[in-house]
């Protein structure tokens, strides 16, 4: 607990609850799961966009010899898709069913 806890306990802990209210832990877990899910959705979206652009360019280059989008155009498409995708997923609030999911396992790096 952040207010009533001793300094030794605060230094050895991984998480400090600043307002001495255990309901804060539920809120933090809910938002953490939301952020984790949003990162997964963003990576899935980016992989889909980039694989689609790659397939379009490869098929067009093999069939006609010309690429439909040059390097600068692909960079602009990626810039726009990165920005809009990140904004869309970053502004998505957590839903109520997040707390019904199983926790995500921790992976220890050796």
In our burial notation (b when 16+ CB lie closer than 10 A, e otherwise), range 77-105 reads eeeebeeebeeebeeeebeeeeeeeeeee
Q: How confident is the model at residue 83 (pLDDT cuts 50, 70, 90)?
A: confident
pTM beyond 0.95: no
Mean pLDDT lowest among 8-22, 40-54, 58-72, 88-102: 8-22
| Chain segment 26-36, per-residue pLDDT in tens | 888 888 889 88
């Amino acid at each position: 607990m952040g207010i009533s806890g001793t300094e030794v306990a605060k230094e050895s802990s991984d998480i400090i609850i600043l307002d001495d209210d255990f309901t804060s832990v539920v809120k933090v877990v809910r938002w953490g799961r939301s952020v984790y899910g949003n990162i997964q959705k963003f990576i899935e979206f980016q992989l889909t966009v980039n694989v689609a652009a790659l397939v379009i360019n490869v098929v067009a280059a093999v069939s006609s010899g010309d690429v439909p989008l040059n390097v600068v155009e692909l960079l602009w498409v990626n810039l726009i898709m990165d920005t809009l995708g990140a904004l869309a997923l970053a502004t998505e609030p957590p839903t109520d069913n997040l707390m019904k999911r199983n926790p995500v396992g921790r992976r220890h790096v050796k």
